[in-house]
Chain A
Amino acid sequence: MATEESPPREGKGQEVMVQQTMPEPAAPAVPALSTPPAVSTVRAVPDGDRRLADSVQRHLSKLVVAPSFAAVLLFVYGFILWTAYISFTRSRMLPVYGFDGIDAYVRLWSMTRWNVAIGNLLLFGSLFILISLMLGIILAVLLDQRVRAEGALRTIYLYPMALSFIVTGTAWKWILNPDIGIQAFVRGLGFETFRFDWIINDQMAVYTLVIAGVWQASGFVMALFLAALRGVDQEIVKAAYLDGASLPRIYWGIVLPSIRPVFLSAIVILAHLAIKSFDLVVALTGGGPGYASDLPATFMYEMTFRRNQIAIGAASAMMMLATVMAVIVPYLYSELRGGRRVQ
């Protein structure tokens, strides 16, 4: 801030303020018009001083970004390299720095638990993305029908995003618990043989993650699509309507295709959420029963902080990075290219 306040300007003596007062014109009708309005300031600043101030100004922009950029370089890229290196060592409880080749990766991929976690990620990820997307689009289209109380409904659909899963997981666990939740509730209605015990069933536990994950994220997808729907060119819609297209056809044939970029954004965001999912699992199933509902995120945490298998934890983190990169890099590439075209 200080650099800005003091462009080296010499003392007041040199900064001559010339109040331009023209002689009063004879005709009083045009006094304001014939007078050059205002004040002019004539300065005699040595060019050298000014250049210094200007060059500080010119570099201020870089100086402002520099700390953040340095932090990102260190805390993001530096740390990725660090983790990458650790994944090639024999580190267990504490990091050790002797190079050990790809041993950690070999051991990682030979662990049943890791393979379960990866399988779960594929299953959970694809269902989570697909259902959230469909639900989000349906909700957005429904809300787009000029409904009453749209604001209230939007708030209800969206609030899960504002809450931590550690919070709502408490309720979900209760709802999914066969002894006190839905199963007990339906049995209480007289359906004695009703079964809904996925959360304690090692074949089905991962699907409870889908139920709760969709519950939390689909409102966000809805908001994305709703905003995009509202940006659609009204003229196109009008033209389609005049051509006699039905409402479903207008949406399916005109409106949704015109917001194609949002599909891409939504899929990328959802995929990213799926890969990162951690507190969802911790709060709902704890990865259980056993490790039946583990995801890579919980696997990594378990290995690193509970099992003293730092190298394997690092290797699993690198695999997560690879997965994210596979999704993100093509997306970023297309986005940045798109951005350049606009400029």
Chain B
Amino acid sequence: MATLTIDRVRKRYHHQEVLKGIDLDLNDGEFLVLLGPSGCGKSTLLNLIAGLDEITDGEIRIDGRVVNGVHPKDRDIAMVFQSYALYPTMSVARNIGFGLEMRKVPKAEREAAVRKVAALLQIEHLLERKPAQLSGGQRQRVAMGRALVRDPKVFLFDEPLSNLDARLRIDMRTEIKKLHQRLGSTIVYVTHDQIEAMTLATRIAIMKEGVVQQFAPPQEIYERPANMYVAGFVGSPPMNFLPAVVAVEKDRLGLFVKCEAHGAWSDVFLPLPPQVPVQLGNGLAEHVGREVVLGLRPEHITRAGSDLASGQVVVEASVGVLEPTGADTLAYIGLGGQDTVARVKPADAPRTGETASFALDLGSASLFEPKSGARI
């Protein structure tokens, strides 16, 4: 359990810079998820924290101590690998205890520690088996046991669930979360799965091309994405991006958005809530007359009921394809000059081809600069 600081970290391979100045600061007991597509540099960053790769520039500090150039074994970290990397010729017990054995921990102590961890992970009955005799989920547990047994300052997870089938992945996700809550350890966790990131993290760092796009708690990332990349990466189905123009009509600040109703497209004025919500930022007034991108999550486009919440406006739009998912039905509607996804209650679901009224929750919307993609 410790703090972790990543300070202006850069990594170059030959002449290619794969990490372009990463700054992250973790408090004791935090669960950081590095989220991004493959090739964004998240695994490289994890390897640098582990000491498996040499840093080109910058500093990594664990508990205030600079660990640049310190051998991985002396960093007091433990790592869980994507392929689990269990030693195939050793029993589960020896796999778990190997790190302690290398550190010359006396045998009795070692065995006690292994048993404790095995009990924690409920794999006591597997201790004498070889990795080849285990199922995927059991191997995953052993890999975690190997990390847990050393009680390191920082745990590193490299896409640990990606080799499991969907069902098991959800179970293990919950267990990792429980473990974190019990042990209160500091964790850095790499994944490309945004649901894992949302469910596990205390803070998420979203990376793209070697740059951190946003470093914030999950809810903030979801509600106030720093740019269109983050907004599009997190959330399923992803956020809708509607081209819009900022305008003032009848003294109300609002947006013109293209809308298709009864078979024809027209510009519709969407007044922003009277008290422009904080999210929409100050200084929107100076954007009047300019193009912006309106970011609306599917759940913020619902069927218009009898009473509107504050910030909601109603538009009429034609309905295209419907996709029932069980809990909700996704409706593709003609809004913003394209198909936009609305999330409606199955009972309220309109019919394909008809024009229906939808409530847009502009109070929860995000606005982005069309060129840079940055949040306004």
Using a CB–CB cutoff of 8 Å, the interface residues on chain A facing chain B are: 17, 19-20, 32-41, 43, 45, 47, 50-51, 53-54, 57
Contact = CB atoms under 8 A, between A and B. Distances in A.
Contacts of A17: 105
Interface in B148-206: 148-152, 182-183
A33 B120 contact: yes
B151 A40 contact: yes
Interface of B: 69-71, 74, 76, 100, 103, 105, 109-110, 113, 116-117, 119-120, 148-152, 182-183
B70 A35 contact: no
B120 A39 contact: no
A38 B113 contact: yes
18 contacts: A17-B105, A20-B151, A32-B116, A32-B119, A32-B120, A36-B151, A37-B113, A37-B117, A37-B148, A37-B149, A38-B116, A39-B113, A40-B151, A40-B152, A43-B74, A47-B70, A51-B69, A54-B71
B148 A38 contact: yes
A37 B116 contact: yes
Contacts of B100: 38-39
When A and B form their complex, which 7 residue pairs have the shortest distance between CB atoms, in order from nearest?
A38-B113, A37-B116, A37-B117, A32-B119, A40-B151, A38-B151, A38-B149
B70 A19 contact: no
Contact of A37 (B70, B105, B120): B120
Contacts of A53: 71
Contacts of B76: 40
Contact of B150 (A40, A43, A51, A57): A40
Nearest to B65: A47
Q: For A17, A20, A39, A43, which residue has the most chain B Cβ atoms within 10 angstroms? A: A39
A50 B71 contact: yes
A38 B150 contact: yes
B72 to A, nearest CB: 10
A41 B116 contact: no
Given A37-B149, A57-B71, 13 more contacts: A32-B120, A36-B151, A36-B183, A37-B113, A38-B100, A39-B105, A39-B110, A39-B151, A40-B150, A40-B151, A45-B74, A50-B70, A54-B69
A42 to B, nearest CB: 8
Q: For A41, A45, A51, A53, which residue has the most chain B Cβ atoms within 10 angstroms? A: A41
A33 B71 contact: no
Contacts of A40: 76, 150-152
